[in-house]
Amino acid sequence: MAWGGIGYMWNKPVFYLVVRPQRHTKTILDAVDTFAVSFLKDEHHDKHKYFGAASGFREDKIKTSGMAVEYSHDAPYFVESKKVYVCKKMSAQYFDPACFLQKEHIEKLYPKQDYHMMYIGEILEIKVSE
């Protein structure tokens, strides 16, 4: 599962994503120039849980979910979303353990030294459902 948020950097509105290196999401993000972050409508909460639990390495989660996909700026997104951020990658960088201010987290949260990759994407478009 990826985590993220919105902000402003380099004079642009951006979306930040952090992803562990063993996630299929990282494989996909590394292969593309644009990505979309879909926030599903409340009635699709079960699908959100499924996407977080199932592995994209083992199955085609989009096909299995039965959700509709459209594209914007070559990035796929779910039609059933209440909000979508369509972004162009600007930066990708692994967390550096030397920069952790709470050093006790390094051993506890990263025993395999599988530090998150942080992607920063310029927000090209925001889609909001009616």
Alpha-carbon distance 72 to 61, whole Å? 20
Q: Report pTM.
A: 0.86
Q: What is the pLDDT of residues 43-94, one digit of tens each?
A: 777 666 666 666 666 767 777 777 889 999 999 999 999 999 999 999 999 9
Half-sphere exposure of 96 (CA within 13 A, CB side): 4
CB atoms within 10 A of CB 99: 6
Residue 78 tokens, joined:
């779910």
pLDDT band at 98 (very low <50, low <70, confident <90, very high): very high
pLDDT bracket for residue 41 (50, 70, 90): confident
Residue 120 has pLDDT above 90, yes or no: yes
Q: Using CA atoms, how far apart are residues 76 and 91, in angstroms rounded to an integer?
A: 20
**Pairing state of beta strands 12-19 and 3-9?**
antiparallel
Residue 116's pLDDT is what? Answer: 94
